[in-house]
């Protein structure tokens, strides 16, 4: 059962040739009730649940990455890249908006405050960003397409779908 402070992330990997074997996660504020899955195996769906920091005026804010690996020999794939996802769910939904971003970065990009700030503030061809209220996002990199949508509520659900391009 989710409460008022829970945010849910749903990850769906429909690519038969991609597995995401290594996750890195950086939470700036908030916590998690159910952590992100270690693996997102081909053809699977999994979830994670985050919560806002209780008894404080802090939301649930973070970034996570999964290495994109060429386990099944997908032609043209780039094993030197990682998928990155940024999310920002404010404590006070009446004053601030939910934001999310998805993209593909070099494998040596560190999952930390700098990556979060880059994805929240900067413009780059490495990712797309938007308010949850503005609809879904789509980012394409070679043979990988990442779709993301985030509900525009105080307890949002962020959905990600990774598919072959």
Written as one string, the DSSP assignment of 17-72 is S-BB--EEEEEEE-EEEEPPPS-B-TTEEEEEEEE-BTTTTB-EEEEEEEEEB-TT
Rg of the chain over all Cα atoms, to the nearest angstrom: 15
Q: Is the pLDDT of residue 29 over 80?
A: yes
H helix count then E strand count, the chain: 1, 11
Q: Which of 61-65, 111-115, 154-158 shows the lowest per-residue confidence on average (mean pLDDT)?
A: 154-158
Residue ranges of domains in the chain, CATH in brackets: 6-164 (2.60.270.20)
* Most confident by average pLDDT, 74-78, 84-88, 114-118, 157-161: 114-118
Q: What is the pLDDT of residues 57-83, one digit of tens each?
A: 888 899 998 887 643 334 445 667 888
Q: Which of 36-50, 63-77, 128-142 shows the lowest per-residue confidence on average (mean pLDDT)?
A: 63-77
Q: Is the pLDDT of residue 43 over 80?
A: no
Q: Is the pLDDT of residue 27 over 90?
A: no
Q: How far is the C-alpha of 14 from the C-alpha of 48, rounded, in Å?
A: 18
Q: Which of 1-5, 106-110, 126-130 shows the lowest per-residue confidence on average (mean pLDDT)?
A: 1-5
């Amino acid at each position: 059962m989710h409460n008022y402070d829970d945010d849910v992330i749903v990850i769906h990997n429909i690519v038969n040739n991609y597995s995401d074997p290594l996750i890195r996660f950086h939470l700036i504020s908030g916590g998690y009730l159910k952590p992100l899955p270690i693996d997102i195996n081909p053809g699977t769906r999994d979830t994670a649940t985050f919560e806002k920091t209780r008894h404080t005026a802090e939301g649930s804010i973070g970034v996570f990455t999964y290495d994109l690996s060429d386990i099944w020999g997908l032609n043209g794939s780039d094993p030197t890249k990682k998928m990155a996802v940024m999310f920002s769910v404010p404590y006070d939904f009446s004053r601030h908006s939910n934001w999310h971003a998805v993209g593909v970065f070099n494998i040596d990009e560190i999952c930390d405050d700098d990556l979060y700030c880059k994805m929240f503030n900067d413009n780059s061809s490495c990712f797309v960003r938007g308010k949850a209220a503005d609809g879904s996002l789509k980012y394409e990199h070679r043979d990988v397409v990442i779709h993301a949508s985030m509900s525009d509520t105080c307890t949002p659900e962020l959905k990600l779908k990774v598919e072959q391009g």
